[in-house]
């Protein structure tokens, strides 16, 4: 593990993830290094998306762009990469056209034979680790750096559908027709997730997030059968592997988008420090379901950023009041309920950050 990183100057995110009271809520947004920024589009005009992911210097530059633009307002950087690097590491061809597309998806369990039987993440995904180390040094301790991966169920869906889907017909057919083969593949994906996340911590990631972006597409009983056990496996195995190597563990966040009916089970059974919420549940209700020992993250509707500054301020104020519950901010990381979308005005996002700073502050009287 690299040990020569500068000391961290802003630890709000890490303290909130550990459930501590903070002087205000730390804030960052999912996809904060992305297409809404003109500086990102300038780089993207010169380089193909996957080339940026695979080139540590370019990934570092993109990761740093929002940190520079919103200096003093952001409390975390998240490494620029993509959740679909894991299917790529398994040997699947990935094309951005313009969205993610696998030209040879897995149609039946017989297609699993096309995948690599063993994946050396340091060989296949070392570019991500190099980008993390480079970015951590470039940050110079300004804010923590977040590493991430996709959850097994979400990656499994992309690998079978060949891309995004509105119905998940092919993926769900696998669960119904071939449940045991599905579980075997899901476990194989989970093992790579574990190695990938451990490698990110070794490279310098200070917090990890697991994105189960399609969790809400499963019926609750299927979520508990096909996703929840592997989410727990990832959190416990990452921690045990780090401990076995004498490496301090880092906080872990789970984003089970749409699985609000299972929040209590997620909080009780998965072992994550923080649960990230979508916008379809009130923060106060989420807190009731998960209890006081789990931090929460979220959960403004990303489309609110198109609503004008009065609406942004009104909704951020309401969100802060619901998370705070009349008290100082504790165990809460402010964020959107999903990733920021490409058409957002960067100055409206700045206003969102400024409103979070104001209305989550201990000095603001609810």
Active site residues: 31, 35, 44, 82, 158
Spatial distance between the Cα atoms of 192 and 210, rounded to a whole number of angstroms:
13
Using the structure block, give the residue that is written with the tokens 């496996």.
233
For residue 243, give the H/E element and its range: helix 228-244
Distances (CA, A) of 5 to 13, 15, 324, 325: 18, 19, 34, 37
Q: Is 178 helix (H, G, I), strand (E, B) or coil?
A: coil
Q: Is 180 helix (H, G, I), strand (E, B) or coil?
A: helix
Give 159's Cβ-side CA count (13 Å radius).
30
- Beta-strand runs (E) in the chain: 77-78, 95-96, 100-101, 145-150, 207-212, 252-256, 274-276, 295-300, 332-336
Q: Which residues contact 46 (CB under 8 A, 6 or more apart)?
A: none
Distances (CA, A) of 195 to 123, 124, 154, 244: 12, 12, 17, 13
């Amino acid at each position: 593990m690299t040990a020569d990183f500068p000391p961290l100057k802003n630890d709000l995110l890490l303290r909130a993830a550990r459930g501590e009271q903070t002087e205000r809520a730390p804030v960052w947004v999912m996809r904060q290094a992305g297409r809404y920024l003109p500086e990102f589009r300038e780089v993207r005009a010169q380089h193909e998306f996957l080339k940026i992911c695979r080139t540590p210097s370019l990934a570092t530059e993109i990761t740093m762009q929002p940190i520079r633009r919103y200096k003093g307002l952001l409390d975390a950087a998240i490494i620029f990469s993509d959740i679909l690097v894991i299917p790529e590491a398994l040997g699947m061809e990935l094309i951005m056209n313009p969205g993610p597309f696998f030209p040879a998806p897995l149609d039946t369990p017989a297609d699993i034979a096309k995948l690599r039987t063993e994946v050396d993440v340091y060989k296949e995904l070392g570019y991500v680790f190099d980008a993390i180390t480079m970015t951590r040094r470039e940050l110079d301790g300004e804010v923590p750096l977040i590493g991430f991966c996709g959850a097994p169920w979400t990656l499994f869906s992309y690998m079978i559908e060949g891309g995004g889907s509105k119905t998940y017909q092919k993926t769900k057919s696998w669960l119904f027709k071939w449940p045991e083969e599905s579980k075997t593949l899901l476990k194989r994906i989970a093992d790579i997730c574990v190695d990938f996340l451990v490698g990110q911590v070794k490279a310098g990631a200070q917090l990890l997030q697991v994105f189960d972006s399609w969790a809400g597409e499963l019926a609750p009983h299927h979520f508990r059968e096909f996703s929840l056990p592997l989410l727990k496996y990832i959190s416990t195995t990452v921690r045990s592997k780090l401990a076995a190597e004498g490496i301090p563990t880092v906080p872990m966040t789970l984003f089970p988008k749409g699985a609000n009916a299972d929040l209590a089970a997620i909080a009780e059974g998965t072992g994550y420090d923080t649960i990230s919420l979508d916008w379809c549940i009130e923060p106060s209700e989420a807190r009731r379901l998960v209890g006081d020992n789990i931090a929460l993250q979220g959960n403004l509707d990303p489309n609110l950023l198109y609503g004008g500054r009065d609406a942004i301020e009104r909704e951020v104020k309401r969100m802060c009041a619901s998370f705070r519950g009349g008290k100082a901010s504790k165990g809460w990381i402010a964020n959107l309920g999903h990733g920021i979308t490409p058409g957002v005005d960067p100055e409206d996002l700045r206003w969102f950050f400024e409103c979070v700073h104001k209305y989550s502050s201990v000095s603001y009287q609810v």
